[in-house]
Each structure stands twice: as C-alpha cells, then as structure tokens.
Amino acid sequence: MVIAKARAVDGPDKSFRAAEIERRDLDVHDVLIEIKYAGICHSDIHTAHGDWGEVKYPLVPGHEIAGIVTEVGSEVTKYKAGDRVGVGCMVDSCGECKNCREGEEQYCLKGNVPTYAGVDKYGEPTQGGYSTHIVVTEDFVLRIPDNIELDAAAPLLCAGITTYSPLNHWNAGPGKKVAVVGMGGLGHMAVKIAHAMGAEVSVLSRTLNKKEDGLEFGAEAYYATTEPDTFEKLAGTFDLIINTVSAKIDISAYLSLLTLDGAMVNVGAPAEPLEVNVFSLIGHRRSFAGSMIGGIRETQEMLDFCGEHGIVPKIEVISADYIDEAYERVLASDVKYRFVIDTSTI
C-alpha cells in the first residue's frame, strides 16, 4: 500500500488541509502513478461545496491528472514504469453493459466510478488527484503525447475531452458555425479544439474583457452577451452552441441563435434546473442536448488530436497552498484559463 500525501477538504465551507490517503496495493491490472500535476475543474468546486448534493468528507478532488507510471501489476500490458500518463474523471466502469462495450464508459448503465467522491469495486471511497499518487486499473489510464508537457496535459483530461466529445459528436468542422458560451477552463479548450477541427468559431462571453485571448485561441468573432443587441444581431446564426457556463443562464435566448436543425449542447452543470421555452425549439427543429466528458477511446483520440495540432490549455501553475484562493478566483471568473496544482508542493 502507498500512503499518498494529499490536500483534502472537510466540508462545504472548509479550507483545504494537508492529509494522507491510502492507495490500494496493486491488483494484477493496476497501475501506480506518481502524480505530477492536477488541474482544478469547476466541478471540483461544485462537489467540494456540495452544490450537487451530499458529499462524503474528507474529500480529495481532482480529475485532471498527469503523471508518471512508477509500478505496474503483474498482468498489465499497456503501460510500464516511466510512461507519461493521465487519468480523467472516471477510474472504472462495469465494462459489460451496452454503453461500456461501445466505448462510452462515462455512460455506464451501472454508473461509472468517478475519480473522486465515488465508491470503487472494493467498496472504498475514491479520492482524486490533489495528491501525490493514485492507483488506477490500466483500462482507465491514458497516454500523454510526447510533445505535451505534463502540466499542460492535465486539463485535457477533463476540460479537453468534455469539449472535444460534443464537438466531435455534433460534427463541428469546415462549413460549421460553432459558438462557445463562457470562456473559462472548458470554454477556452472548446475554442481551440473547434478551431482545429476546421469550424468557424465565435465566443459568447459576458464581456469583451477576454476578446484578445479568444481571437488568439482561434475564434473568428467574440461577442458580449451583456450588450443589448447581441442576441438580435446573431439570431439564427449557429449550427452548434456549446454552453460551458457553470451558472443558470437564459437558455431560450441562446437557442434563438441556432439555425434550422441547430443544436445547443450543455456541458456546464449548474445546480439549478434550466428553463427552456419550447417555442425556441419547435419553430426551427432545434435540439437542446447534454454531454458528459467522453469515453476512454475518445479521450485517447482527443489527446492524440491535441498532440498533432499542438493544442494545449493556457494554464497558471500553483502550489497546493493556493487551492482555496484558486477556488475563489475561479468563482469570480478570474482564471486564465485553468489552475494546475504542482503536486510536488503537496
């Protein structure tokens, strides 16, 4: 058993503290990873704050993990010590249901095992990446392309795949007009990936404060949603809208920006229900959909795509002592565009 150093939180209003957690002995298919970097996703904050319901504390969040394999179980074939690897939002699934067999393990009919705040097949609570080590079954470990640094790779494991998957599924590409709502961690990845897929990308942000960055990430246009004429001007424009906003917004207003047969996909996960005026859907055969991370095969495809296209997130590397402040800054949308914890500071 490995005792990992970690940063844990004991309740919705508590600060992070140093902790030690046990990582299980390696089963035959397990991989022991020395974590080097862990991204801070807004989902970590929703979970730590109990936004989505009750959580078992102490909680060690973190599902954007990049590190190095240090040991493998006796029957591991995919990885060896020294490999550069990542772990995302899930660490296991049943492997047998229809969705798992189709490589959509995130939609496992028995429920995937989340990297933290879940329960693994041994009945133990899972604890995430704000820690120095993790043990994961090899099928849920990803390979990081050689040309992507580990710190920049970490956010791809959630922000990258969560935006790549719907862009891929809804066929973002040449000739398609894609709008990204909210330019935070997920949003800025959506811009970069959609642009690399060949789509014409627009950003819909509250203000124009981040416009220069958005254009640099590959957007062709950048609009402020707080400006009164934006929605009128853009009515019926986009084939696909990816909504990454972590709070409740006026969905019907955004649906009005879709073309005939256009789709708006929600990846943002606010606690409050969102309201939809059906007339903004039925008049133009529009869809309102949701999407959750991506399967393991697609996550590897996304990593390789990012490697080939030189796509990396814009990150701010922080020490473990800065997690509470980083959470405050994410909540204030004061992040450019992902905080990544250097786990050597844990």
| Range in contact with ligand NAP (rule: CB under 6 A) among 77-85, 107-115, 250-258, 265-273 | 265-273
How many Cβ atoms are within 10 Å of 176's Cβ, its own excluded?
Answer: 20
Rounded Cα distance between 284 and 295, Å, is 31
In whole angstroms, the minimum distance from the beta carbon of 229 to ligand NAP comes to: 18
Residue list 64-123, contact with ligand NAP (CB under 6 A)? none
Omega cis (within 30) before 155:
no
Contact 137, 28 (CB under 8 A): no
In whole angstroms, the minimum distance from the beta carbon of 183 to ligand NAP comes to: 4
182 binds, among ligand NAP, Zn ion, none (CB under 5 to 8 A by kind): ligand NAP
- 249 scored as a contact of ligand NAP (CB under 6 A): yes
- 11 to 50: interface string for ligand NAP, x by CB under 6 A: ------------------------------xxx--x----
Of 41, 250, 189, 220, nearest in space to 128 by CA: 41
| Neighbour-count burial for 303-322, b at 16+ CB within 10 Å, e otherwise | bebbbeeebbbbbeebebeb
Rounded Cα distance between 205 and 195, Å, is 17
| Range in contact with Zn ion (rule: CB under 5 A) among 103-111, 157-165, 206-214, 267-275 | 157-165
Q: Binding residue for Zn ion (CB under 5 A) from 38, 41, 193, 241?
A: 41
| Closest residue to ligand NAP: CB criterion | 184
Q: Binding residue for ligand NAP (CB under 6 A) from 49, 78, 169, 206?
A: 206
Rounded Cα distance between 320 and 166, Å, is 32
- The DSSP 8-state label assigned to residue 250 in this structure reads -
| Range in contact with ligand NAP (rule: CB under 6 A) among 19-27, 135-143, 267-275, 278-286 | 267-275
329 binds, among Zn ion, ligand NAP, none (CB under 5 to 8 A by kind): none
In whole angstroms, the minimum distance from the beta carbon of 174 to ligand NAP comes to: 26
- 234 scored as a contact of Zn ion (CB under 5 A): no
How many Cβ atoms are within 10 Å of 141's Cβ, its own excluded?
Answer: 26
- 154 scored as a contact of ligand NAP (CB under 6 A): no
| Closest residue to Zn ion: CB criterion | 41
In whole angstroms, the minimum distance from the beta carbon of 97 to ligand NAP comes to: 19
Whose tokens are 């509470």? That residue is: 324
Strands 30-39, 65-72: pairing is: antiparallel
Shorter beta-carbon distance to ligand NAP: residue 147 or 209: 209
Of 214, 246, 251, 250, nearest in space to 336 by CA: 214
Containing 5, the helix (H) or strand (E) segment is strand 2-8
Q: What does the angle CA 57 – CA 62 – CA 64 come to, to the nearest 5 degrees?
A: 165
Per CB under 6 A, residues contacting ligand NAP are 41-43, 46, 158, 162, 182-187, 205-206, 244-247, 249, 267-270, 291-293, 330, 333, 335
Per CB under 5 A, residues contacting Zn ion are 41, 43, 158
